Amino acid sequence: MLHPQVTAAAKIRHRPPSDILAADPYEQLKFARQAMEDAVDAECGPALPLAVVADVDAHGVPCRLYATRPDAPIFVYLHGGGWSYGSIETTDRTCRRIADRSGCAVLNVGYRLAPEHVFPAAQEDVEAVLSYVRKSDLGVDASRLAIGGDSAGAQLATIAARRQRDAGTPLDHQTLIYPALDPMTASASYDEVGEYGLDRQAMKMAWETYIPDPVQRLTPDAAIFATPDLSGMPSTLIITAEYDALRDEGADYADALIAAGVQVVHTRYMGVNHGFARKLALIDAARAATDQVASSLRAALLF
């Protein structure tokens, strides 16, 4: 059963008026972007104070660094939003909590969004940030480096992890919160739970906006399942949600990583839907999931 907190949370964000709904898709996207920003305080709660909160220019990519102590391992976080919306601000509270609970530094990345910047712009930004982290003096220990994100951000994270593996500079860990991994949107969960906030039509539009060329959508730099060999990928935490259309592709990826010999923890949070994990002020499971991410980072990077 869908948790009552999820039902209540769905009423927080502004819904587009009829004239916006009738407008062109870009006007709808602009409304969705602003509505997500406007709801941050109500959905995510107050900003947790930390010893270090600093905006950073990472080779031209805006980022925000959070830390509680010097020389901490670093976790690069990529926000969700269908590659088209979301920002540093929409995951600010999540990153603060992870930094506070994990003892790791967190770098929150403001990668370029589609449709203004289509594939591979966001991916290039992630690569630029990883290079910056390794070469710059951020006061962190870049020799212990993890990556992660939610939804579209999780897709960018695991593609970056695979590319780093192939380049001979493997990452130490990845955390993927309800990752968007299948451009074909073929999973049965789209049919079973697509009515709970994210459906096949919306996800198809997200993929098509991010990667307009259908051929490119099926390459290993877009679809992680097109990677012929997943061995050597970093240890992985995958979080999925019971009422999420992306549920099955996240589970399938966990199975594929395990089959390749990768250390994997896959946790399914029951009674919640897509997007639950950043709603720290409204959903108990959001705080539990965020703290699980922090615990996973501690285990992977600090011990």
The reply to whether 3 belongs to the active site is no
Vertex 91 angle, CA 134 and 168, to 5°: 25
The reply to whether 141 belongs to the active site is no
Calpha distance 232→234 (Å, rounded): 6
Tell me which of 87, 235, 274, 296 is the catalytic residue: 274
- The residues facing 243 across adjacent strands are 273
Tell me which of 125, 172, 182, 244 is the catalytic residue: 244
Tell me which of 151, 187, 189, 296 is the catalytic residue: 151
Helix (H, G, I), strand (E, B) or coil at 130: helix
Calpha distance 146→104 (Å, rounded): 10
Helix (H, G, I), strand (E, B) or coil at 104: coil
Give percent helix, percent strand, percent coil of the chain, each to the nearest 5: 45, 20, 40
Specify whether the CB–CB gap between 238 and 245 falls below 8 A: no
Both tokens of residue 24? 């062109």
Calpha distance 294→103 (Å, rounded): 8
Specify whether the CB–CB gap between 94 and 278 falls below 8 A: yes
Residue 260 one-letter amino acid: A
The reply to whether 125 belongs to the active site is no
What amino acid positions are annotated as catalytic residues? 151, 244, 274
